[in-house]
Amino acid sequence: MGDLMRLCGLGKAFPQRQRNEITILRNITITMGEGETVCVLGESGCGKTTLGRIVAGVSDYTAGSYRFQGKEVSEMSKEERNQFRNSVQMIHQNPYESLNPTMMVFDIIANPIRRHHKIVKIEELYEKVTELLETVGLTPVEDFVDKYPAFLSGGQRQRVSIARTLAMNPKLIVVDEATSMVDTSLRISLLGTLKKIQEETGVSYFFITHDLALGKYFAQGQKAVIMYLGQIVEECSMERLVEYPCHPYTKEILSAAVGSSDILEKDQGKKYRLTGTDNPSFKNLPSGCPLHPRCPQKMAGTCDVKIPESAKAEQGHYVRCHLYEEERQR
């Protein structure tokens, strides 16, 4: 399968009133093929949504390159840009905000079908809306078509939002913490629906979460990237990430997840803790490796001075940490 999209050295800086600008994303490189999933993991505020919005074309990048189906997004013509915006859709964290409260479920889904597929006949529209509601598991369909969002549960609203997204026939869906407002018991069912849709349609997912267990469930056999303060610090398959985490920050994430989830084996990554009370931020970015104020393995004179390059730990496994640059040189 060919590349669907490729981010290369991508960056994002926001203009600020009192200072020049604030850089949030730095040097992001990710490639994904058709029908694949990339899971982006990282703590709150590390830049996941900022990245997801760029991937979905909702926000622009300020450095590097983003190619979608071979075309540089910032250089697309108006027509190409419209096509790109249709091909990449985003499912948001909060279905309460993303659905129009004054529209019935039927219209919420029928409107993009009218626009995108140029279908106007009511029978054909009803058939397509029915098909989509069945795909997302909102059955019997008659119970939902004439409801307003206020009369649906959070999980049902998120399913409506997924059906609306599918109405555009997207090639790539950015799923940004889409199940975080849904009861735990319904989370797996919703993610199962998304996986089934992928099997049936070959859609790709850019799956954003702070929850390793959810990521592991959703991106089985797929690619995982770990973000810390706007940079990718580790990239490999989801299975390798859990079995052989390399970066100290990944080890911390694994360590924190053990015990809070039965999805991870009980001895995986245990007893690894970052140190220090400093909480580095984008406004106060540490010199050298951004993790060095918290890293128990930091090497004075190196980690606090030099920004680590991404190094190959194994085939398909990359780590941004001086420990691995050192190993490579031995």
Ligand X SMILES: Nc1ncnc2c1ncn2[C@@H]1O[C@H](COP(=O)(O)OP(=O)(O)OP(=O)(O)O)[C@@H](O)[C@H]1O
Q: Which is nearer to ligand SF4, 66 or 249 (CB)?
A: 249
Beta strands in the chain (DSSP E): 3-15, 21-33, 37-41, 63-68, 71-72, 88-91, 172-176, 204-209, 223-228, 231-237, 310-314, 317-320
Angle between helix axes 184-201 and 122-135 (nearest 10 degrees) is 120
**Site for ligand X contains 46 (CB under 6 A):** yes
Q: Would you call 140 exposed, middle or buried from its count of C-beta atoms within 10 A (0-12, 13-18, 19+)?
A: exposed
**Among the candidate windows 41-49, 81-89, 182-190, 195-203, which touches ligand X by CB under 6 A?**
41-49
CB 149 within 8 A of CB 157: yes
Q: Which residues, 176 to 215, sit near ligand X by CB under 6 A?
A: 210
**Site for ligand SF4 contains 232 (CB under 6 A):** no
**Minimum distance of Mg ion from residue 177's CB (angstroms):** 6
**Site for ligand X contains 14 (CB under 6 A):** yes
d(CA 100, CA 119): 21
Would the CA dihedral through 245, 292, 46, 36 be positive or negative?
A: negative
**Site for ligand X contains 18 (CB under 6 A):** no
Residue choice 113, 174, 212, 323 for contact with ligand SF4 (CB under 6 A)? 323
d(CA 312, CA 319): 6
Among 165, 327, 306, residue whose Cα is nearest residue 246: 327
Among 184, 266, 252, residue whose Cα is nearest residue 46: 252
**Among the candidate windows 29-37, 38-46, 148-156, 162-170, which touches ligand X by CB under 6 A?**
38-46
Residue choice 36, 162, 298, 318 for contact with ligand SF4 (CB under 6 A)? 298
Q: Which residues, 270 to 289, sit near ligand SF4 by CB under 6 A?
A: 289
DSSP for 86-130, please give it.
Answer: HHEEEE-S-HHHHS-TTS-HHHHHHHHHHHHH----HHHHHHHHH
**Among the candidate windows 48-56, 68-76, 143-151, 183-191, which touches ligand X by CB under 6 A?**
48-56
Q: Which is nearer to Mg ion, 23 or 201 (CB)?
A: 23
Binding mask 41-70 for Mg ion (x = CB under 5 A): -------xx---------------------
**Minimum distance of ligand X from residue 116's CB (angstroms):** 28
Q: Which is nearer to ligand SF4, 215 or 308 (CB)?
A: 308
Q: Which is nearer to Mg ion, 88 or 323 (CB)?
A: 88
Residue partners of 39: CB distance under 8 A and separation at least 6: 207, 208, 209, 215, 218, 219, 222, 223, 224, 225, 238
Q: Which is nearer to Mg ion, 100 or 180 (CB)?
A: 180
Residue choice 26, 92, 164, 322 for contact with ligand SF4 (CB under 6 A)? 322
Q: Which is nearer to ligand X, 18 or 184 (CB)?
A: 18
**Among the candidate windows 45-53, 101-109, 271-279, 308-316, which touches ligand X by CB under 6 A?**
45-53
Q: Which residues bind Mg ion (CB under 5 A)?
A: 48-49
